[in-house]
């Protein structure tokens, strides 16, 4: 069997097949349920806000996916080191890039499950049906590169910083910085610095696309630049992760 598939199956199995491993999935479903119930209790929302509710859920799912990715990525190499299982992995006939992509296999499985789990919530809150299909499609199209990019970043930092705690802390701070557009809103990002930040931030690309597609019903032709930003982020973080694995000190 291909080494990447082998590592991916092991990682995915630990994440999804063990009873304890499924605890994160329970936590995720509880967070989404609480968010949905809070929305039910708000009677002052206009029909326009229904699209905003869907947008909000999409942003939350992407953030939670990125959070899962940085946690798993931070543990990917440094965790193996701390558990004493890194040396056997490095002695196995696998290249650094195979290790990285194998580890990402587990993250992809986690993200796919998280995405599927979020679909009932997106359907439930999108009662008006406004751009619901687009919401589901664009969450996959933009959420996937953004989330997996954070996974690659976590692996890279995990390899370079040699400690789960340091890698996790650095990854989380990076995630908070990049995910700040979700909290700040568009009006606070109108300054030159805010616009520059938006122009290069993959998280902004995803969030602005969700806004553009779900709330403003704009076509995909207007999202291509943002999609390229998300894809560039994915490629750059993948390269960073592979280089970090290659340069890693035992």
Residues that bind another protein (CB under 8 A): 17-19, 22-23, 25-26, 29-30, 32-34, 36-37, 39-40, 42-43, 45-50, 53, 117, 120-121, 123-125, 127-128
Q: Give 39 or 112: the residue with its C-beta nearer to another protein.
A: 39
Q: Residue 114: in which H helix or E strand, if any?
A: helix 96-125
The residues near 213 (Cβ < 8 Å, ≥ 6 apart) are 131, 134, 135, 138, 220, 223
Residue 227 near residue 209 (C-beta atoms within 8 A): yes
Q: Give 123 or 197: the residue with its C-beta nearer to another protein.
A: 123
CA atoms within 13 A on the CB side of 101: 11
Minimum gap (Å) between residue 54 Cβ and another protein: 10
Residue 121: Cβ-neighbour burial (10 angstroms; 0-12, 13-18, 19+)? buried
Give, in order, the Cα–Cα distances in Å from 153 to each of 37, 87, 107, 147, 157.
33, 22, 12, 10, 6
Residue 51 near residue 217 (C-beta atoms within 8 A): no
Residue 182: Cβ-neighbour burial (10 angstroms; 0-12, 13-18, 19+)? middle
Minimum gap (Å) between residue 132 Cβ and another protein: 12
* Cα distance between residue 9 and residue 72, in whole Å: 15
Minimum gap (Å) between residue 90 Cβ and another protein: 31
Minimum gap (Å) between residue 30 Cβ and another protein: 5
Minimum gap (Å) between residue 144 Cβ and another protein: 21
Q: Give 19 or 93: the residue with its C-beta nearer to another protein.
A: 19
Phi/psi of residue 28, each to 5°?
Answer: -60, -45
Minimum gap (Å) between residue 77 Cβ and another protein: 28
Minimum gap (Å) between residue 12 Cβ and another protein: 15
Q: Give 22 or 196: the residue with its C-beta nearer to another protein.
A: 22
Q: Give 65 or 73: the residue with its C-beta nearer to another protein.
A: 65
* Size of the chain in residues: 250
């Amino acid at each position: 069997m291909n080494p990447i598939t082998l590592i991916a199956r092991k990682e995915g199995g630990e994440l999804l097949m063990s009873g304890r491993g499924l605890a994160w999935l329970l936590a995720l479903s509880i967070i989404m349920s609480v968010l949905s119930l809070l929305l039910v209790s708000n009677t002052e929302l206009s029909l326009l806000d229904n699209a905003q509710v869907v947008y909000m859920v999409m942003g939350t799912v992407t953030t939670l996916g990125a959070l899962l990715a940085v946690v798993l990525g931070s543990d990917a190499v440094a965790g193996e080191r701390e558990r004493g299982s890194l040396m056997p992995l490095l002695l196995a006939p696998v290249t650094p890039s195979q290790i990285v992509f194998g580890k990402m296999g587990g993250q992809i499985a986690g993200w796919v499950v998280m995405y599927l789990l979020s679909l009932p919530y997106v359907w439930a809150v999108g009662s008006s049906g406004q751009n619901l299909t687009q919401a589901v499609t664009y969450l996959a199209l933009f959420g996937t590169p953004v989330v997996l990019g954070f996974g690659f970043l976590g692996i890279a930092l995990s390899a370079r910083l040699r400690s789960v705690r340091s890698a996790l802390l650095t990854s989380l701070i990076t995630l908070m910085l990049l995910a700040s557009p979700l909290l700040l809103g568009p009006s606070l990002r109108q300054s030159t610095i805010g616009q520059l930040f938006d122009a290069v931030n993959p998280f902004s690309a995803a969030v602005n696309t969700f806004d553009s597609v779900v709330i403003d019903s704009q076509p995909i032709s207007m999202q291509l630049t943002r999609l390229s930003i998300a894809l560039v982020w994915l490629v750059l973080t993948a390269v960073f992760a592979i280089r970090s694995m290659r340069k890693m000190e035992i």
